[in-house]
Structure 1
Amino acid sequence: MKNFFYSLAQHYQNICATLKHTDGIAALALRCYLVPIFWMAGTNKLMHFQDTVEWFGNTDWGLGLPFPHIMAALATSTELAGAVLLTLGLLTRWISIPLIVTMLVAIVTVHLPNGWQAIADPNAPFANAQVLASAEKLKAAREILQNYGNYDWLTSSGSLVILNNGIEFAVTYLIMLLALIVLGGGRYFSLDYWIKQKFSK
């Protein structure tokens, strides 16, 4: 029996030794998922920079943030630099920190008043009053489109939904960035790994 457990432990260690060469795949997957998100967010802010500044600073219909020019420039540059560095797997842990800050700012200033859900679903466990009220509006919108529009064509690319814009996606990205602080860029698939290998020699 003792030999059996010893043999089992040896097999387990051998499997772990083999699998360690694939442990960079998780970090690579997180990076590949986040890159287009931050690239699109950053380029959209850059292409409409003045609108972004006005939205950041306006207290009536915007975020009402102080120093809107500086805040907009920081958010834009962080997202663009983040997309580039995550693509390369360079300074992965360091760039994850300001990206986390941008997610926290987005959560608090943009998404938090809308609750959890990104897409309104009255049947979901975290449905707030705003989401519950969307059911009647969505039903009315469907009836209007079915009666006066080409409903099949309008919904051929996906179901008709109401965007709730809650914290769901932003929190998901934040958690992924926290994971990258722990994982780094990942074995084999990042410049961080190869730079570390070079200097460790």
Structure 2
Amino acid sequence: MLDAIRNAYIQFLRCLKPLDGVAPLLLRLYLAPIFIQGGYNKFIAFDGTVEWFGNPDWGLGLPFPEFLVVLAAGSELVGGICLIPGIAVRLFSIPLMVTMVVAIFTVHLPNGWLAISDASSWLANERVMEAVDKKQRIVEILQQNGNYDWLTSSGPITILNNGVEFGATYLLMLLVLLFTGGGRYTSIDYWFRIRSEDN
């Protein structure tokens, strides 16, 4: 019986083998627009981003803000573009992970885990709980002074908590790409490697 289960499992894994490039492909296609947009936003608002990176009073208070903005925006923009076809995926995963670690510790960590305020979550902190009254007041103001049905036709009013959740998720996805690479059959990296092995 155990041999039959083991053989069936081995056969199952053999069936999956030709498709093992699909998961890295999906990770790449999910992450690419996030990083491209992030890098693009930093470049088009370069001066404001530099000010935010460097200002110790209302910003991040980081040293060499111009240099760091160029590094972060360049990594996100170029790395995000290269993720799409799967070029140097392992290499670009490293600066993108560094960018995520810096973002987590300088921007998101003080806000807790949740990216969106959800008071019903077991991860809700004091900041999230305070958002309940704020959201209720926002709803009241919009109901009294605006076309509430139209304003919420695309979705309910939500308060962003800006916690670690998304940054940590992207970081883990990049870590997977660092170890798996761009994916068998689905990345330019794979075909370059195959060609170099044939020569």
Aligned counterpart in structure 1 of residue 157 of structure 2, from 130, 155, 160: 160
Q: Which residue of 1 aligns with 2:21?
A: 24
Distance 1:92 1:40 in 2: 18
AA at the equivalent of 1:173: Y
Per-residue CA distance 1:91-114 (angstroms, 9 max, x = gap): 111110110000000001111111
Q: Which residue of 2 aligns with 1:100?
A: 97
| C-alpha deviation, 1:13, in angstroms | 2.9
Distance 2:48 2:150 in 1: 33
**TM-score with structure 2 length normalisation?**
0.95
Residues 159, 195 of structure 1: CA spacing in aligned structure 2 closer, same or farther, 3 A cutoff? Answer: same
Identity of aligned residues (%): 53
| C-alpha deviation, 1:81, in angstroms | 1.3
Distance 1:56 1:161 in 2: 26
Matched, 1:178 2:175: yes
Aligned counterpart in structure 2 of residue 39 of structure 1, from 36, 39, 45: 36
AA at the equivalent of 2:187: S
Aligned runs of 1:113-152 on 2, under 5 Å? Answer: 113-152=110-149
**TM-score with structure 1 length normalisation?**
0.94
Q: Which residue of 2 aligns with 1:54?
A: 51
Per-residue CA distance 1:96-151 (angstroms, 9 max, x = gap): 01100000000011111111111111111111111101101111111111122111
| C-alpha deviation, 1:188, in angstroms | 0.5
Distance 2:15 2:114 in 1: 40
Unaligned stretches of 5+ residues in structure 2: none
| C-alpha deviation, 1:8, in angstroms | 4.9
| C-alpha deviation, 1:7, in angstroms | 5.2
Matched, 1:80 2:77: yes
| C-alpha deviation, 1:5, in angstroms | 5.2
AA at the equivalent of 2:37: M
| C-alpha deviation, 1:37, in angstroms | 0.1
Q: Which residue of 2 aligns with 1:111?
A: 108
Unaligned stretches of 5+ residues in structure 1: none
Distance 2:8 2:121 in 1: 44
User: Between Structure 1 and Structure 2, how many residues are aligned?
Assistant: 198
Which segment is superposed worse, 169-178 or 14-23? Answer: 14-23
AA at the equivalent of 1:81: V
SS of structure 1 residue aligned to 2:132: helix
Distance 2:67 2:18 in 1: 43
Which segment is superposed worse, 4-13 or 50-59? Answer: 4-13
Aligned counterpart in structure 2 of residue 64 of structure 1, from 40, 61, 66: 61
Matched, 1:14 2:2: no
